[in-house]
Amino acid sequence: MVTGALVAALGAGLAACDQSSKRQTRARVPQSAPAPAPPPQQIEPVPLTAHRAQQAKPLTKPPREAIEILLESVEAAFKSGEESYKAGHLAKARRDFDRAVDWILMSGIRLDEDPRLEALFNRVVETVHAYEAAAFREGDGFREPESEPATIDEIAEMDFPVDPSLREKVERDVQAAPHDLPLVVNDLVLSYVNFFQTPRGRAIVEGGLRRAGRYREMIERIFREEGLPQDLIYLAQAESSFKPTALSRARARGMWQFMSFRGQEYGLRVSWWLDERQDPEKSTRAAARHLRDLYEEFGDWHLAMAAYNTGPGGVARAIERTGYADFWELHKRNVLPRETKNYVPIILAMTIIAKNQEKYGIRVQPEEPVPTDVVKPGHPIDLRLVAETIDVSVDALKQLNPALLRTVTPRDPEFELHLPAGSAERFFAEIAEIPQEKWVLWRRHRVEPGETLSGIAGKYRVSATAIAQVNGIDTRTVLSVGDRLIIPATTASTPTGQMVSYRVRRGDTLSEIARQHDVSIEDLRRWNGIKGSTVARGAVLKVYPGGRQSSTQQSARRQSSDSDAAGAALASAAAERNPDGTVTHRVKPGETLWSIARAYRTTVESLRAANEFLVSRQLKAGDLLVIMVP
């Protein structure tokens, strides 16, 4: 992306695993060396094939056609970047701005050879400076939402002193409070009871118990259905303090802290679009079934909890090594990871305190459950459009849908979107006014005091006529405060097929990375020049989520600077004339929307508008495109 360092460089140019890995890694493996620096960014070729081919011979003045092509291409990339920025898609804006600057610097044309080129370059750099300062520090629709630290990371590797005076009191409390989990009072448990009464420990307990109110009814219902002790709810208290977006240092995620492979084993999907480990209800169901399976394997809840933490294989090996199927004996013989040794005492201590809150100085007002309406849009939809349709904030929608990683919902027709209770009917009534294929493009706008049709059109980078036509009004119509307008935006907001960077983490495989991003391993190898079946930790890969690009397509991208004459010849050979003046073009292998748009002297946006299927998927060889010829 164009950062301050890159802009400075431009100025210079002017002058001249296993679940067990989750826990054991932190306890036993020394910190790894810093990840290698990402490979140099591959710059798209400048669309000046003819001019660059001649650079072996010094030119006193670049060909006029070369400068015109460069100006046109840079202006298009810059305009696309501005539109993406205005629409809130900062990742794409950064790529567009980078491309515009790189094309100028790599063209071989000096800025002083054409005043227009120098003015355009200065405009791009100044705009990037302004935008970078204003918003590039913020997130966007292509970046995963921020995660919260997992509670278990904070306390599971610590040791705390034992207060001998606590034993008698805790033993009385255990006997007095009903419980369905075997509660043991020993020095290990007492040490954590002691910690949870310190200011720091009390804050952890109170925060978790406060959030637990939102999910308690749901968790208790699922535990009853799965035949689990209700007191196992405090496992989530220890793991995450009931934070759906909690992320541990070992990459375990969600309220119940599932590793990716374990979550998938119990039906939790993990992809570019979704991470169901962060879905409170689905992850609770998965955790209940996993715990039930562990109990059936070990026949003891303390061992089952230990196996939940370190993996069943680790506990089974410890039992086989010592001959003792007892957690406290395994603890004494030091055959479990340190975090696992502390894990069970933490849960028991939290259970004891939660059942006797006032006695331990805990004062909490639990949050109320948040009722929702569950809808199936059946088609990708931008959360901003949803928010504008039912008058809520995007942040509110994200809180109700923590498993959703992007601002656009996935293509899965069975995907369930949670809306504030009572809003489903309004959502379906109002969204029906917008064609499905526009749900990732179009927006809603509520008229504010002083706003005019032309002003609103300028805000969304569309014409006032287009807004008027879609809403069945005249361009001279006086708008009233509170009027709701449909905005026919033209900037695509779905991240399908747009390049993202992915840094390889420990344990990643090509197949796992490809599956998460809905691409093939073959494409992943081709995009990144990978010949073997492995990839180095720390490497940065180019990925086009949801898009399958062949080598011929990428080659076509690199050759997109072919002359207009050659493009026109290609178009006339491939197109079929229609009575209404449009043409039908059958896509050939290697063609892209950009190359076809240039061939017909139109725009990519026009192609998308005339061919609605392009909203939800990439262009494919054999597709029939309807083209409005200018």
Q: Block means of pLDDT (10 residues each) for the chain, length 630 residues?
A: 36 36 32 38 36 35 69 87 69 75 69 76 69 41 64 76 86 92 94 91 94 97 96 95 92 93 92 88 98 97 96 95 96 93 95 93 93 92 90 92 87 91 94 85 85 83 77 86 81 44 74 73 82 78 61 38 38 53 79 72 68 72 78
Strand partners, 373: 419
Given this chain, do its domains 500-549 and 553-627 carry the same CATH topology?
yes
**What are residue 586's DSSP bridge partners?**
624
Q: Report the topology of domain 500-549.
A: Membrane-bound Lytic Murein Transglycosylase D; Chain A (3.10.350)
| C-alpha closest to that of 62 among 74, 72, 50, 75 | 50
3-state secondary structure 62-102: CCHHHHHHHHHHHHHHHHHHHHHHHCCCHHHHHHHHHHHHH
DSSP structural state of residue 253:
B
Mapped onto helix, strand or coil, the DSSP state of residue 167 is helix
Distances (CA, A) of 573 to 553, 584, 585, 586: 19, 11, 9, 10
Contact 312, 250 (CB under 8 A): no
Domain ranges within the chain, ordered by starting residue: 4-16+35-134, 148-360, 372-434, 500-549, 553-627
φ, ψ at 624 (rounded to 5°): -105, 120
B/e letters for 71-105, b = 16+ CB within 10 Å, e = fewer, are bebbebbbebbbbbbebbbbbbbbbbbbbbbbbbb
Q: Which amino acid is at 180?
A: D
Tell me which fold the domain 148-360 belongs to: Lysozyme (1.10.530)
Burial of residue 202 (CB within 10 Å: 0-12, 13-18, 19+) is middle
* Cα 347 from Cα 303, distance rounded (Å): 13
Looking at residue 13, what DSSP letter applies? H
Residues 496 and 547: beta-carbon distance below 8 Å: yes
* CB 345, CB 190: distance < 8 Å: no
Closest listed residue to residue 188, CA positions, set 389, 332, 372? 332
586 touches 628 (CB < 8 A): no
The CATH homologous superfamily of the domain defined by 553-627: LysM domain (3.10.350.10)
Q: Which two tokens stand for residue 188?
A: 């290990």
Q: What HEC string does 461-516 produce?
A: CCCHHHHHHHHCCCCCCCCCCCCEEEECCCCCCCCCCCCEEEECCCCCCHHHHHHH
Q: What is the pLDDT of residue 130?
A: 57
Range list of β-strands (E), 100-237: 148-149
Q: What's the confidence (pLDDT) of residue 256?
A: 97
Q: What is the pTM of this model?
A: 0.58
The percent of the chain in helix, strand and coil, each rounded to the nearest 5, is 50, 5, 40
Strands (E), 343-430: 372-375, 417-420
Return the amino acid letter for 394: V
Please state, in angstroms and rounded to a whole number, the distance separating the CA atoms of residues 351 and 209: 11
Q: Which DSSP helix (H) or strand (E) runs through 446?
A: strand 443-446
Max Cα-Cα span within the chain: 95
Tell me, what's the pLDDT at 70?
Answer: 84
**Residue among 263, 541, 217 at smallest CA distance from 370:** 217
Contacts within 8 Å (CB) and 24+ apart, 166-174: 166/190, 166/193, 166/194, 169/359, 170/352, 173/352, 173/355, 173/356, 173/359, 174/352
Rounded (5°) CA angle 234-215-181: 25
Sheet of 575-577, strand order: 575-577, 583-586, 624-627
Phi, psi of 404 (to 5 degrees): -80, 120
pLDDT at position 215 is 97
User: How many CB atoms within 10 Å of residue 534?
Assistant: 10
User: CA separation (Å) from 327 to 322, 330, 528?
Assistant: 11, 5, 48
Q: For residue 500, what are the β-bridge partners?
A: 543
Cα–Cα distance, 50 to 63 (Å, whole number) = 9
CA–CA separation, 89 vs 108, rounded Å? Answer: 31
CA–CA gap between residue 95 and residue 80 (Å, rounded)? 10
The CA distance from 496 to 343, in Å, is 41
Amino acid occupying residue 74: V
- Residue 190 CB-density burial (10 A; 0-12 exposed, 13-18 middle, 19+ buried): buried
- Which residues sit opposite 627 in a β-bridge? 583
